[in-house]
Structure 1
Amino acid sequence: MDTTSFLFYCMIATFTPGPTNIMILSTVKNAGARQAMTFSYGATIGFGLLLVVSAALNSMLMAVMPKVITILQIIGSAYMVYLAYKIVSNHSSQATAEQTATFRFGVLLQFLNPKTVLFALTVIPAFIIPSYSGFAAVSVHIAAITLIGFSAFLTWVLFGSVLRTFLQKHQKFANLVMALFLAYAAVMIWT
């Protein structure tokens, strides 16, 4: 396995803006870093579970992948547009942020997030399975990928914490930018 390519792929896929990272940033802005960390813990567990499911079902998923990807594109894009609408239309009360940015929602979002699902469906067969077949080696790589994902989530929490005052001061603009990023991501799924 080309470790450098593997690490670049993992870093780019996890650190770039996507539904989870935008949700983390929005949560920090509206409810603070503690609530964003609760959501991030859930997102990390969901991300790890998704990788485990991908590894376990890799051969079966490859046979039905075109159907799965189409379904995920439809559901994921619709959900991302919904999140974008909620961000731009919500005047971001702390109570609303605390209700949506929960541990459970963090876990669930990973299974609805097309970016995360497509990453999990591609990283295992592209990098890990061709080079490693043992349970231990695959498990270590899944743990490493999950740790990279958690690092990305933590970076977004820190980024949001540093910019929280600015984001709150320019709330309408910040919400619009976050919503546009989500809408752009939803559109890019189809191109």
Structure 2
Amino acid sequence: MNMTSFIFYCFIVTFTPGPTNIVILTTVHNSGTKKAMDYTYGATIAFGVLLAISAILNTLLVTVIPRILLVMQIIGSVYMLYLAYQVYNMDTSKPSVNETGSFMSGFLTQFLNPKVLLFTMTVIPTYIMPYYVSMAAVTISVVAITIIGFLAFIAWVLFGAIFKGFLQKYKKIVNILMALFLVYAAIMIWI
């Protein structure tokens, strides 16, 4: 197993902007660090669950993957465009009190996040299963990848917390940029 390639793949996919990271940054910006951490905990647990499901069901999904990917691309793209619309239309004149920063929203959105779904469906069969098949090795791999994902989410929370003053000062511009990033992510699924 090429450990360097595996680590780079995990870090690049989890630390680069994607729907979850953008929602975390937006949540810090609009609702504070505590709400963003609630979302992060939910997103992390779902990330680990998805990795475990991928590890367990990998051989069963091989024949179904093309159809699953198409359905998830459609659902994921529509959901990201919906998130972009919500972020763009966010009322920046008053503080928001909503459930976008909750544990449950963090958990559930991972199941519609095409970046996470594609990653979890490819990382285990590509990097782990060809070299390690024991339950212990696969479990350790799932835990390690989940920790990497959690570190990525925390990095986005810290980024939002550090730059909160700047982000607050330019709320509307930041919301427009975050919405555009989500639209870009939705388009990139099809390219």
| TM-score of Structure 1 vs Structure 2, range by shorter chain | over 0.9
2:70 is equivalent to residue 54 of structure 1? no
Query: How many Å apart are 1:100 and its aligned residue?
Result: 1.4
1:1-191 to 2 correspondence within 5 Å? 1-92=1-92, 93-96=94-97, 98-191=98-191
C-alpha distance in structure 2 between counterparts of 1:87 and 1:37, whole Å:
19
**Is there any run of 5+ residues in structure 1 with no aligned partner, and where?**
none
CA distance in 2, matches of 1:10, 1:62: 22
Code of the residue aligned with 1:109 in structure 2: it is: T
Specify the SS of the correspondent of 2:99: helix
Q: Distance in 2 between matches of 1:61 and 1:87?
A: 34
What is the one-letter code of the residue matched to 2:125? P
Distance 1:17 1:94 in 2: 25
Between the aligned residues of both structures, percent identity stands at 55
2:156 counterpart letter in structure 1: W
Which one-letter code corresponds to 1:165 in the other structure?
Answer: G
Shift of 1:94: 3.7
- Counterpart residue identity of residue 188, structure 1: M
State the alpha-carbon separation in 2 of the partners of residues 107 and 59 from structure 1: 25
Contact between 2:99 and 2:105, CA under 8 Å: does it hold in 1? no
Distance 2:52 2:160 in 1: 29
Secondary structure class of the residue paired with 1:144: helix
For 1:89, the aligned partner's letter is N
Residue 63 (structure 1) shift = 1.0
Tell me how many residue pairs correspond in the alignment: 190
CA positional deviation for 1:95: 3.5
What is the root-mean-square deviation in Å for CA atoms of aligned residues?
0.9
State the distance in 1 between where 2:107 and 2:178 align. Answer: 21
Give the whole-Å Cα distance in 2 for the aligned partners of 1:63 and 1:119: 18
Q: Deviations 1:10-39 (Å, cap 9, x if unpaired)?
A: 000000000100000000001111110111
| TM-score, normalization by structure 2 | 0.97
SS at match of 1:132: coil
Q: Distance in 2 between matches of 1:94 and 1:139?
A: 42
Q: Following the alignment from structure 1 to structure 2, what is the Cα–Cα distance between the partners of residues 65 and 99?
A: 32
Runs of 4 or more consecutive aligned structure 1 residues displaced over 6 Å after TM superposition: none
Residue ranges of structure 2 left out of the alignment (5+ in a row) = none
